Amino acid sequence: MRDRKVQKMVTAALFTGAAILFGYVETLLPIPLPVPGMKLGLANIAVLAVLYTAGPGMAAAVDLVRILVNGLMFTGLYGFLFSLAGGAVSLLIMILLYKCGRFGVTGVSAAGALAHQAGQILVAVPLLGSEAVLALLPVLGALAVGTGIVTGLTAAGLIRHLPTDGKV
Amino acid sequence: MSRKKSVKAIKKADIILIAILAGVLSGFALLSAGRQMPAEGKSAAQVEITLEGETRLYPLDQDTQFTLTTSSGGENTVVIKDGEVRVTEADCPDRICVTMGAISRTGQTIVCMPHQLVIRIKGKDQEIDGVAQ
């Protein structure tokens, strides 16, 4: 019993570390993207991997800790609020689609990426005191779906090489 | 090692889902494009600048340039020239506001999320337009 608990903790810690690192590495890579500020969402690869190998509970835990640590280390309060809103909506959508079982990793990832963007924009409305931000949704949303497909395919490749019971 | 469960990278349902998402987004894009119109009689058009919840208005037809400073010391330089507004410089991390370029039509916006800045062009037909607060 105790061993399983320890194993779970170690798995969670490992994936959380990977998720934080993915997010950090992304800010260092000078990848030419069509829109500055647009992100590839590499951290979602780790979150997807946890979701498919250790289940929704672990995925939620890993993602929330990732957002908290990122907020403390890099992004500050507003960045934290934005990513928390995005992360929560995205997690919810991804878990629902995953549970539903009809979708592959790519669909879950694309919908999750869009939900992330939509969540951020929705929280921006009260924060900025203007609903004009909503006008950003089509462009940023389309980009999110695109990057979501890419990270989804990448995550699927990774998941195939991981055992499915969360034991790494 | 555990049993191999097949994890599909992409299923038919994914393609349908992505197509639906793309459709909804295009709908949104058309909707917001439909709201924009040339700022006719530019003398009436105003530039509404909301910084950290505080709103100020500037006439669109008077060329001017100024720097906005947020409470945390962030800066955005706004230029109003020839009936167009643009952010020419900013020290926000993503600089989306700068790359958004110039806006000149009613309903168009420039947004700088990190600095809580929204710049929008308001026309005299604002009420009829129904883009209500």
> Residue B18: which region, alpha, beta or left (left: phi > 0; alpha: psi -120 to 50)?
alpha
| Chain B partners within 8 Å of A153 (Cβ) | 9-10
pLDDT at A83: 85
| Closest to A94 measured CA to CA, from A78, A75, A115 | A115
Mean pLDDT calculated for residue range A53-71:
92
At A156 the pLDDT is 95
For the beta sheet containing B109-112, the strands, ordered from the edge strand earlier in sequence to the opposite edge, are: B54-59, B46-51, B117-122, B109-112
The CATH architecture annotation of domain A2-159 reads Orthogonal Bundle (1.10)
Low-confidence ranges of chain B (pLDDT < 50): 1-4, 42, 126-133
Name the more confident of A5 and A104. Answer: A104
User: B130 at the A interface (CB within 8 A)?
Assistant: no
**pLDDT average, residue stretch A41-59:** 93
Q: Does A51 touch chain B (CB under 8 A)?
A: no
pLDDT at A91: 96
Lowest-confidence segment of A51-55, A82-86, A150-154, B95-99 by average pLDDT? B95-99
Q: Which residue has the tokens 């929280």?
A: A123
C-alpha distance from residue A39 to each of B54, B112, B113 (Å): 29, 16, 15
Assign domain B37-126 to its CATH superfamily.
N-utilization substance G protein NusG, insert domain (2.60.320.10)
Q: In what order do the strands lie in the sheet with B84-90?
A: B64-69, B75-81, B84-90
pLDDT at A25: 85
pLDDT the model gives residue A65: 94
Q: What is the mean pLDDT of chain A?
A: 86
For B1, nearest residue in chain A (alpha carbons)? A163
The vertex-B130 CA angle with B127 and B133, nearest 5°, equals 90
Q: Which residue has the higher pLDDT, B9 or A168?
A: B9
Going through chain B in order, the beta strands assigned E by DSSP cover 37-38, 46-51, 54-59, 64-69, 75-81, 84-90, 105-106, 109-112, 117-122
Cβ distance of B29 and A139 shorter than 8 Å? yes
Tokens of B80: 């109003």
More confident residue, A3 or A93: A93
Give the start-to-end residue ranges of the domains of chain A.
2-159
Q: Percent of chain A scored above 90 by pLDDT?
A: 54
Q: How much is the average pLDDT of A134-153?
A: 90
Query: Tens of pLDDT along B45-66?
Result: 889 999 988 889 999 988 999 9
Which pLDDT score, from 0 to 100, does residue A30 have? 63
Q: Please, is B30 exposed, middle or buried when counting C-beta atoms within 10 Å of its C-beta (0-12, 13-18, 19+)? A: exposed
- pLDDT value for B2: 43
What is the pLDDT, as a whole number, of residue B115? 85
β-strands B46-51, B117-122 pairing = antiparallel
Is the minimum CB–CB distance between B120 and chain A shorter than 8 Å? Answer: yes
Whether chain B has a CB inside 8 Å of the CB on A56: the answer is: no
Query: How far from chain centre, in Å, is Cα A99?
Result: 17
Contact check, Cβ <8 Å, A133/B50: no
Task: Return the pLDDT at A40.
Answer: 83
Taking CB atoms and an 8 Å limit, are B26 and A138 in contact across chains? yes
Using one digit for the tens of pLDDT, what is the confidence trace for A64-89? 999 999 888 877 787 788 889 999 99
- Asked if A116 and A87 count as a contact pair (C-beta separation under 8 A), the reply is yes
How much is the pLDDT for B38? Answer: 63
The pLDDT-based confidence of A26 (bands split at 50, 70, 90) is: confident
Q: Where are the domains of chain B?
A: 37-126
Question: How far does A17 lie from chain B, in Å, by closest CA?
Answer: 23
- pLDDT, greater one: A91 or B94: A91
